[in-house]
Amino acid sequence: MTARRIGILTGGGDVPGLNSVIKSVVYNATEIGCEVIGVRRGWEGLTHMKRADLLSAGGRYDSDYIRPLDRVKTRTIDRTGGTMLHTSRTNPSKMSANRLPSHVPADQLAGYEKADGIYDLTPLVLNNIEYLGLDYLVTIGGDDTLSYSAVLDQSGVPVIAIPKTMDNDVQGTEYCIGFSTAITRAKEAINRQRTTLGSHERIGVFRIFGRDAGFSALYTAYVTSARCVIPEAPFDLDRLLSVLVEDKLANPSRYSFVIASEGAMWEGGTLGEFGEADAYGHRRKVDVGFALVEQIKQRAGEDAVNSELTYDLRAGEPDSLDQMVAITFANIAVDLIREGGIHGRMMAIVDGKYAHVPIPEPGNPRKVDVDTMYDLNRFRPQYHNRLGRPLLLGASLGSGEAALGQPVEALA
């Protein structure tokens, strides 16, 4: 059977490059005679959309959730970040009661309850996909989005998934959309902020996302020739403080800094260590940036500041590399759809090359391979022994690599 109609959705946190994927899927799909249906707000579009008989406005589609896409509507979107389809963190197989679609009859919803207060709306999603007439679904997202993509594919809806996350920690691929732009923005911000560190002769901590994996910190450090600490490698706090003080003294501009993944922590360090623990409560977890600044001030006696690299890293247009990967992932996805037969796969970079792999299991983020990628002694990326490695250095596909079970498909 040839696909006639492709659905597309984006889930999880937005990153630059999502719109490039959407545009490229639309342009390429229309070339091969396929329609593309945009599903809005991630999986919520497929749980909450109303059918024609419930729409006061008439029409076949619930425009709150469903938007047919064409070239005109997507022509310029690749020049902006974010996702024109909006996004959400909905997981249809684990919906809480307060998130259920209100237009669905209570008794029908009751049938979806799996545990107390947890509903699995997969039957509803499948019905809606059938209603929309989708032959294929292209999903773009991180861990959560990917995991439900696998569920759906196993339920009989052919899915091609495209990984995105600034953390770059999706298993099975060396690259996720949004990662390069995040590094580009972080590099620019850090290099700009050197002058304010130097003017005040401070030690800086640049906190960057990455609760489980340190790729963002590590690669930003690589391209700025900086120190970094990452979640995968608890560090010696005394040594770090002493290195930062030495760096500052050796620097004619009298500053130094370290890039810290939000999940990094020193050896033996716990949140409770630095008093007034309940002050931080459940609302705001103490962050390593704040904690490190306290340590630098108290134990090293140096002025220090915590600069958080947050929303700006996921804002704005994608950089060239993200644009290239986003476009290419999209085109390979449509190539696969056109050729038919292949589904339940995730676009990936494997060993430096475009590939597709099984959609990874959730809850097991890819980690930095500390032995080959990080120099714990110097708080730096590993610069030696790069020969034979892929352009972006990351040969490791994470702990799940061996367990992928199926061979990587990478046709020449």
| Active site positions, annotated | 167
SS3 of residue 346 by DSSP:
strand
Question: CB 276: neighbour CB atoms within 10 A?
Answer: 7
Helical (H) or strand (E) element with 177? none
| Biggest alpha carbon–alpha carbon distance for the chain | 73
CB of residue 320 to its own copies, shortest distance in Å: 5
Non-local (6+) Cβ contacts of 249 within 8 A are none
CB of residue 133 to its own copies, shortest distance in Å: 26
Supply 96's token pair.
């809480």
Using the contact rule CB under 8 A, the part of the chain among 91-99, 143-151, 344-352, 397-405 near its own copies is: 344-352
Q: Which of 126, 324, 370, 404 binds its own copies (CB under 8 A)?
A: 324
Using the contact rule CB under 8 A, the part of the chain among 94-102, 181-189, 209-217, 232-240 near its own copies is: 181-189
CB of residue 136 to its own copies, shortest distance in Å: 17
Q: Are strands 118-119 and 374-375 parallel, antiparallel or unpaired?
A: unpaired
CB of residue 123 to its own copies, shortest distance in Å: 27
Q: Is 14 a binder of its own copies (CB under 8 A)? A: yes
Q: What are phi and psi of 224, to 5 degrees?
A: -110, 10
Q: Which of 304, 323, 368, 379 binds its own copies (CB under 8 A)?
A: 323
Binding mask 268-297 for its own copies (x = CB under 8 A): --------x-xxxx-x--------------
Using the contact rule CB under 8 A, the part of the chain among 207-215, 237-245, 322-330, 359-367 near its own copies is: 322-330
CB of residue 403 to its own copies, shortest distance in Å: 21
Question: Between 132 and 166, whose beta carbon lies closer to its own copies?
Answer: 166
Q: Which of 3, 21, 83, 379 binds its own copies (CB under 8 A)?
A: 83
Question: Between 315 and 404, whose beta carbon lies closer to its own copies?
Answer: 315
Query: How many Å apart are CA 165 and CA 230, to the nearest integer?
Result: 17
Q: Is 299 a binder of its own copies (CB under 8 A)? A: no
Q: Are strands 304-309 and 256-261 parallel, antiparallel or unpaired?
A: unpaired
Q: In sequence order, what are the beta bridge partners of 12?
A: none
Q: Is 387 a binder of its own copies (CB under 8 A)? A: yes
Supply 402's token pair.
């061996």
Non-local (6+) Cβ contacts of 371 within 8 A are none
Report the site for its own copies in 28-57 (rule: CB under 8 A): 28, 41
Binding mask 192-221 for its own copies (x = CB under 8 A): xxxxx-xxxx-----------------x--
Q: Which of 98, 102, 225, 406 binds its own copies (CB under 8 A)?
A: 225
Query: How many Å apart are CA 328 and CA 70, to the nearest integer?
Result: 19
How far, CA to CA in Å, does 164 sit from each of 16, 175, 356?
9, 8, 14
Question: Between 161 and 393, whose beta carbon lies closer to its own copies?
Answer: 393
DSSP characters over 254-298: --EEEEEETT--BTT--GGGSS-HHHHTTTSPPPHHHHHHHHHHH
Name residue, tokens 């704005």: 316
Q: Which of 58, 107, 301, 384 binds its own copies (CB under 8 A)?
A: 384
Burial letters 329-363, b for 16+ CB under 10 A, else e: bbbbbbebbbeeeebbbbbbbbeeebbbbbbbbbe
Q: Is 383 a binder of its own copies (CB under 8 A)? A: yes
CB of residue 371 to its own copies, shortest distance in Å: 14
Q: Which of 58, 59, 252, 301 binds its own copies (CB under 8 A)?
A: 252
Number of residues that bind its own copies (CB under 8 A): 93
SS3 of residue 333 by DSSP:
helix
CB of residue 254 to its own copies, shortest distance in Å: 7
Using the contact rule CB under 8 A, the part of the chain among 55-63, 159-167, 250-258, 264-272 near its own copies is: 250-258
Q: Is 349 a binder of its own copies (CB under 8 A)? A: yes
CB of residue 237 to its own copies, shortest distance in Å: 20
Name residue, tokens 């391209």: 223
Q: Which of 79, 103, 285, 299 binds its own copies (CB under 8 A)?
A: 79
Query: How many Å apart are CA 50 and CA 54, to the nearest integer?
Result: 6
Using the contact rule CB under 8 A, the part of the chain among 7-15, 46-54, 55-63, 133-141 near its own copies is: 7-15
Q: Is 107 a binder of its own copies (CB under 8 A)? A: no
Gyration radius from the chain CA atoms = 23
Query: How many Å apart are CA 370 and CA 76, to the nearest integer?
Result: 41
